[in-house]
Structures are given as structure tokens and as C-alpha cells.
Amino acid sequence: MHLFEGLATTSTLFVLVATSPVNLQSRAGNFIVHQTVPKPFKKSGPAEILSTYGKYNASAPENVVKAAYANDGIVLADPTRYDIEYLSPVTIGGQTLTVNFDTGSSDFWVYSSYLSTTQTDGHSIYNPAQSSTSRVLDGYTWEITYGDGSGASGRVGTDTVNIGTTTVVNQAVELADDVSLQFQGDILNDGVLGLGFDSLNSVVRPVQQKTFFSNAKASLSAPLFTANLKRGKPGSYTFGFINAAEHTSSITYVPVDSDNGFWGFTTNGYAVGTAAFQTSSFKAVAGTHHSYWSPLHCFSTDHAHLPDTGTTLLFLPDTIVRAYYRSVRDSGYNYALGGYTYPCSVTLPSLTLGIGSYKAVIPGSYITFQPIDSEICYGGLQPNDGLDIAIFGGIFLKSQFVVFQSSPLQLGFATKPL
């Protein structure tokens, strides 16, 4: 069985459709979106790794592919376990769906009435015919193929989209008319709202479309949003303002490298537990939960870092990962499982990552991903071999308060109550 990952991740438009100008009906200034509980679905560790390689258009190591296909990971789980996926409400043409907000992609696609009833079982769907403000764009199509072989495709429309108290009129929405079997099993997720940069949306033809944030930011009190993911419980996103109650330190800002459509930044080192800080400059990307595949021209210099709300795991250069697990008793790289494992009974050390003058501390308890059995656990920290980028996914983001700001273009990091 092929695999899919429900984690981060909208349509981008370089040239607006002349007959459908995007405009703002509501100028709310700022709003907050509370997540629902993580959905009752989990994936195996190898499946998480494979999906992330696919998302960033890279070839996964052969042993990871074999391990992932040997265990598709599609099982029911306690909704608060493993923090695989967080969901938030979005209203399209008066119809509310539950979607993933993903800073690692820029497509806004949803389950729609164009799908057969066998494909929509258990999902909420968007029906353009039930909206007086909808419009299907003739000749516009989209198609996504993910690294694990799963995929979705369909047509493109526009409609009025409400998130919190902000409304965007004529927002482009990608309407699925075909989804693979893997997606159909992810029954509580009805789509993805990408929060990456417009240039990352390359699946819509003939014209790229803009993201919801890109269209809405002019109406916000400030052109920013924040991610406050939680461990084992719902977190929240705020748009247009920074909620002082959500962070406990001053916010450290660093420049963003958006050349590839991601929220990229540079880190300056690491420390394992109480050991001395090691200087090591590498680039990263930040993201929020949903690691579906996205077209990408990979960064080619050093190591790129992304904070990605759409990816569950934390992927770092191999030298850092090996240094971390050397401090964990009886841990090691398990080729059969495609990643680092360790005894569930051990206490993991913290991991500190340097971002500008800020030292982001990830508690050891946050670095466990999931148990493989009653004795062995799969690590939430894994090497980024072959990716050319380091990805700061949910393992990192659950431990930090993060600000995504478009003007000036920067990322902010701060401590928060854990």
C-alpha cells in the first residue's frame, strides 16, 4: 500500500484573473484561529520521513522507502497522541471545512462535490453549487503527486473565504475531483491551506494563484501571522497581531530567505543537553503541520532551514543528529525502520538550536515521535540526508512561539509556556 502523510502547507497568482479581482469584504484588523484536536490518525516513522522527502522533491534513502512501504502506518490512534496533524476551521461560500494550515506549501485545495461519494465518505465537502458567490474558472486545473505515490487533482474556482473575522472575496480554491485511496483514509482532514509564498504555487494551470494570507494581509492590523502549536492538545494561529499572552520572552527576529517560496532562515549552532554550544551555520525552513508534497527548486548552499508547520519531524544535518543520539543510551540508526530509534525507557536530553541571538531549547520529552512497540521508540529528530535543507517541523514548533511576518520580511522566535 502506498503511503500518505497528513500533517503542514493555497493558490498563488502572479496575474489576477481580470474578471475575478480579489478583494477584501471585511477588514477585521486581526483574529485568532483555534485548532481542533489532532485528528485520530497516525503514520509510522518511516512513512513520515518518506512523505517529507516527497514534499521537498528529494529522493529518500532506499532503506527508508522499504521501511515505509512495509508499514503503511494507517491505524487509529488517540487524537492527542503523536501530534501528527492539527486542524482548523475555514468557511468557503458559507460552507465550513476543517483543513490543515501549512507554512511549507502555497496551495489551498479542498474536498469538493466533484468527487464521487465513495471518495468523500467521512469528509465534509465544498459544493460550489450551494454558494451564490462561487465561480469555476474555465480551463484552470491543478494536480499534485506526492512523494509516496498518492495524489489529488481537479479544477479551480473562486469564492468568498472566511477565516476568523477576515473575509477574502474571489479567493482561488482548488477543487478536488479525484483523490487517491490514501487520502480518502484521512477522514477528518478536508484539505490544505498553504501559507508559504505565492511563488511556491506551481500546480495551478494556466495561471498561478495567490494564497489567502497574500490576499488578506492588507486588511490586517499588521502583515503577519503566528503559530503556537501545542504538544498533545490544540494550539492556535493568530493573524494580524501578536498575542503577548502566548510567549514568555522577548521575540528575536531573523531575516527570511524566501527565494524558493519557503520561510527560510539561517541557524548558527546547537547544543545537546548541558554540553557546550557548538557553532555550526546552516540554513533551515520553518513550517506548520502538513507535509504534503510541494514543487521546489531546492536550496543549494550550505543547509537550508525551514520552519514547516506541515511537517511533523525535525530534520537536521547528519552531524548534529549523530551528536544528539550519541548521548542517548542504546540508541542507533535502524536501517530496517529507516531512522533513529532508542529504548522508550530512557530520558532524552534537550536539544538547543541557535537562531540569531536566540537559543531555542527543545525539551527531550518533545523529541520522541512514537513508540514502535512496548520497548523501542522512533525519534522525532532524524537526518536530512539528500534533502539539502533542514526542516523545523512540529517537533521544533511545539516548543516555540513563532512569528511569520511579510513586511519587513522576517521570522520571530520566543519561548512560551509548555
Query: What is the sign of the dihedral through the CA atoms of 79, 81, 83 and 84?
Result: negative
Report the candidate in 285, 160, 253, 168 with the shortest Cα–Cα distance to residue 217.
168
Report the candidate in 89, 99, 47, 86 with the shortest Cα–Cα distance to residue 234.
86
Question: Of the listed 72, 83, 102, 198, which one is catalytic?
Answer: 102
> How far from 404 is each of 40, 252, 276, 360, CA to CA, in Å?
28, 12, 30, 16
DSSP 59: P
- Identify whether 257 is a catalytic site residue: no
Tally of CB atoms within 10 A around 282: 22
Q: What angle do CA 387, 9, 221 make, to 5 degrees?
A: 125
Residue listed under C-alpha cell 503566528 = 226
CA torsion, ordered 360, 363, 369, 374, to nearest 10 deg: 170
Query: Is the Cβ–Cβ distance between 76 and 312 less than 8 Å?
Result: no
Query: Is the Cβ–Cβ distance between 212 and 11 less than 8 Å?
Result: no
Query: What is the sign of the dihedral through the CA atoms of 12, 16, 21 and 24?
Result: positive
CA atoms within 13 A on the CB side of 1: 13
Question: Of the listed 186, 190, 198, 308, which one is catalytic?
Answer: 308
- Identify whether 121 is a catalytic site residue: no
Contacts of 117 (CB under 8 A, 6+ apart): none
Fill in the amino acid letter for 23: N
The secondary element (H helix, E strand) that includes residue 154 is strand 151-163
Which active-site residues does the annotation give? 102, 308
